[in-house]
Amino acid sequence: MLGGEDDAPLLGRRDAGRRAAEIAAAAQAHLDENQCLAVAADQVDLATAHPEITHHDAQAVALQMACRPVFGFAAAGGGGIVGFCSHAQTMTESMTQECAALYVVPTPLGNLADLTRRAEEILRSVPWVAAEDTRHSGPLLKQLGARARTLPAHQHNENEAAARIVEKLQAGESVALISDAGTPGISDPGARIVAAVREAGGRVVPLPGPCAATTALSASGLLDEHFLFYGFLPAKSGQRRQALEALSDIPAALVFYEAPHRVLDTVADLASVFGQRTLVIGRELTKLFETIHSLPLPEALDWLKADPNRQRGEFVLMLSGASGEADSGEGERVLKLLLADGLPTKQAAKLAASITGASKNALYDLALSLKG
Ligand code: SAM
């Protein structure tokens, strides 16, 4: 195990954090194809991690390093020691390559203290950080004392970025992928990069951490057993309403992301499509003006309009699911009234669903059976 007293002469202190961090963060709970072995953070002696090991030093270091029967072997690349193998073997260039990884690293939504220790260690230890906006992420990396070089990986260059990242990994250099805030790939660039790395047979290591959707949901108080994360709705109202219609029967809480300049329009559309449901508005989460407000959807627009501050910042909108709160009896009662008033079946079912929050499809089926 690295950091044992026997290894001390080989292991300097200068770059201890950087080396040990990637080892710790590379830990996995299982042996993977390449037999990179889990190494828990507490198994690594941070103070005795290896000094600067360059790509070219790797083989030399391997010659010195004792290969032990169980943890026998550490692979080192430009990005540091990144994995252990379960059998005695000398370090080779190919092993270096096998153990480099793409780390998917969530970053804070607003409160810097939300960066996990593991994320911090990875960002400090990898040689490359692929960032959605390198200027935006610069201060964070600087504050951490990260010496990684950055490469841009945004919406408009994701394919090229993916190719560059695959090259880095093939050269044995690990890459941390970050977005401006939250988890990469969640309504953010990243999915294509991850797909390309996986396609190329590379190792992808996800780190848990900040995500606006789960952060908001955890404090929503919505009782739905399930949730559907939708992310951003279409910007144009017609398309947005169409998208919402398609969701109207789903028996799960619906989670949307929204920008401040569209929040009123979106809430207006939510109200017109879903009618009587509960809306929870999560705004500026983890920041100074964090707000989490729950209210009946029909009242939401007025509530937002009542104070312009309520329309500022970043939003997660969470809606209770179909049938989540209106019992089918109420849906049936309203449906019967509307049918008795002469409304066509489809329209009556839609309106009754909208008014009561009951399932549109269930009400439509009921309407058909009532008609006979
Ligand atoms: N990848 C991020 C994540 O894991 O949550 C989401 C990135 S997406 C481009 C940005 C959107 O996430 C914002 O428009 C907003 O809807 C939501 N969001 C991000 N930070 C937020 C915060 N602090 N409070 C509320 N919503 C937030």
Average pLDDT, the chain: 79
Note whether 346 and 314 are same-domain residues. Answer: no
Helices (H), 100-248: 117-125, 134-144, 158-170, 191-199, 212-218, 237-247
From CA 336, how far away is CA 220, in angstroms rounded?
A: 33
Could you list the residue range(s) of the whole structural domain that residue 249 is in? 213-319
Which residue, of 209, 241, 273, is where some domain finishes?
A: 209
Note whether 72 and 158 are same-domain residues. Answer: no
> Structure tokens of 250?
């789903």
Angle at 322 between CA 255 and CA 349, to 5 degrees: 135
Half-sphere exposure of 286 (CA within 13 A, CB side): 20
Q: Which atom of ligand 1 is nearest to the CA of 258?
A: 16
Side chain identity at 163, as an amino acid letter? A
* Domain CATH for 249: 3.30.950.10
- Which residues form ligand 1's pocket by a CB distance below 6 Å? 109-110, 179, 181-183, 186-188, 211-213, 257-259, 282-287, 314-316
With the most atoms of ligand 1 within 8 angstroms of its CB, the residue from 262, 280, 286, 316 to mutate is: 316
134-187: pLDDT as tens digits: 999 999 999 999 999 999 999 999 999 999 999 999 999 999 999 999 999 999
CB 195 within 8 A of CB 119: no
Tokens 């990260």, residue?
146
Side chain identity at 292, as an amino acid letter? I
Note whether 205 and 229 are same-domain residues. Answer: no
pTM assigned to the model: 0.73
Note whether 8 and 77 are same-domain residues. Answer: yes
> Structure tokens of 263?
């929040």
76-133: pLDDT as tens digits: 333 333 332 222 233 343 444 458 999 999 999 999 999 999 999 999 999 999 999 9
Which residue, of 302, 319, 336, is where some domain finishes?
A: 319
What three-state secondary structure class fits 86?
coil
Number of structural domains, the chain?
A: 4
Note whether 115 and 147 are same-domain residues. Answer: yes
From CA 184, how far away is CA 248, in angstroms rounded?
A: 28
Note whether 130 and 33 are same-domain residues. Answer: no
* Domain CATH for 112: 3.40.1010.10
